[in-house]
Chain A
Amino acid sequence: MNLGAIARHRLFWPLVALVLLLVASALKSPAFLEVTVRDGHLFGGPVDILRRSSVLLLVALGMTLVIATRGIDLSVGAVMAIAGAVALSQIAASPDPGALSTVLLAMATALAVALAVGVFNGFLVAVVGIQPIVATLIFMTAGRGIAMLITGGQITTVTSAPYKTIASGYWLGLPVAALIAAFVFGVTALLTRRTALGVLIESVGINPSASRLAGVRARTIIWTVYVICAAFACIAGFIKSSDIMAADSNNAGLFIELDAILAVVIGGTSLAGGKFSLTGTLVGSLVITTLTLSITILGIPVNAVSLFKALVVIAVCLLQSPVVQHRMRSRRRRVAPVPVEVPA
Chain B
Amino acid sequence: MTTSPTAIPPDQPDQPGEPDRPDARDREPVVAMTGITVTFPGVKALDGVDLRLFPGEVHALMGENGAGKSTLIKALTGVYAVDAGTIVVDGTARTFAGPAQAQAAGISTVYQEVNLCDNLSVAENVMLGHEVRRAGLVDFRGTRRAAREHLRALNLDIDPASTLSSHSLAVQQLVAICRAMVVDARVLILDEPTSSLDVDEVERLFAVVRDLRGRGVAILFVSHFLEQVYAISDRMTVLRNGTLVGEYRTADLPRVELVQKMIGRSLEVLEQLEEAPKRVAAERGVQPYVQALGLGRKGSIEPFDLDVYPGEVVGLAGLLGSGRTELARLLYGADRSDVGELRVEGQPTRLRTPRAALARRIVYSSESRKTEGIIGDLTVRENIVLGLQAERGWLRRIPQRKADEVVAQYVEQLGIRPADPDAIAGNLSGGNQQKVLLARWLATQPRLLLLDEPTRGIDVGAKAEIQRLVAELAEQGMAVVFISAELEEVLRLSHRIAVMRDRRKIGELVNGDDVTTDDVVDLIASGGQDA
Contacts and interface: CB of A to CB of B under 8 A. Distances in A.
Instruction: Specify whether A and B are partners.
Output: yes
Contacts of B387: 214-215
Interface string A209-231: 11111111100010000000000
B282 interface: no
A194 interface: yes
A217 B394 CA distance: 9
Interface in A190-221: 194-197, 199-200, 202-203, 206-207, 209-217, 221
A70 interface: no
B372 A209 contact: yes
Given A203-B386, A215-B355, A196 B397 contact: yes
A14 interface: no
Interface string A266-288: 00000000110000000000000
Contact of B394 (A211, A213, A221): A221
A214 B440 contact: yes
Interface string B343-385: 0000000000111011000001010000111111110001000
Interface residues of B, number: 31
A213 B334 contact: yes
B377 A275 contact: yes
A212 B375 CA distance: 11
Contacts of B355: 215-217
A216 B393 CA distance: 8
Contacts of B395: 195-197
B377 A202 contact: yes
A210 B373 contact: yes
A308 B353 CA distance: 51
A200 B355 CA distance: 14
B394 A206 contact: no
A200 B394 contact: yes
A197 B364 CA distance: 23
B372 A210 contact: yes
A217 B393 CA distance: 8
B298 interface: no
B376 A216 contact: no
Size category of the binding interface on chain A: 20 to 34
Contact of A206 (B357, B378, B391, B398): B378
Interface string A132-168: 0000000000000000000000000000000000000
A274 B392 contact: no
Given A199-B389, A200-B389, A200-B390, A215 B358 contact: yes
A221 to B, nearest CB: 7
Contact of A215 (B354, B373, B376, B397): B354
A213 B397 contact: no
A86 B398 CA distance: 41
A122 to B, nearest CB: 15
Max chain A Cβ within 10 angstroms of own Cβ: one of B390, B393, B395 = B390
Contacts of A275: 377
Interface string B393-431: 111111000000000000000000000000000000000
A194 B397 CA distance: 7
B371 A216 contact: no
A269 to B, nearest CB: 12
A214 B354 contact: yes
Nearest to A219: B353
B375 A196 contact: no
A118 to B, nearest CB: 17
Contact of A196 (B364, B378, B392, B440): B392
B440 A195 contact: no
A196 B381 CA distance: 13
Contacts of A217: 353, 355, 390
Nearest to B398: A196
A195 B378 contact: no
Contacts of B374: 207, 210
A213 B373 contact: yes
A274 B358 CA distance: 24
A196 B371 CA distance: 22
B364 A195 contact: no
Max chain B Cβ within 10 angstroms of own Cβ: one of A200, A274, A275 = A200
A214 B371 contact: no
A207 B398 CA distance: 21
A214 B397 contact: no
Contact of B378 (A194, A197, A203, A209): A203
A206 B373 CA distance: 11
B371 A210 contact: yes
A295 B79 CA distance: 44
Contacts of A214: 354, 375, 386-387, 390, 440
Contacts of A202: 375, 377-378
14 contacts: A196-B393, A200-B390, A203-B375, A207-B374, A210-B373, A211-B390, A212-B334, A213-B364, A213-B372, A214-B354, A214-B387, A215-B357, A217-B355, A217-B390
Given A199-B386, A214-B386, 11 more contacts: A195-B396, A196-B398, A207-B374, A210-B371, A210-B372, A210-B375, A213-B354, A214-B387, A215-B355, A215-B357, A216-B386
Closest 8 CB pairs of A and B: A215-B390, A215-B358, A196-B397, A197-B394, A216-B390, A215-B355, A196-B394, A206-B377
Interface of A: 194-197, 199-200, 202-203, 206-207, 209-217, 221, 274-275
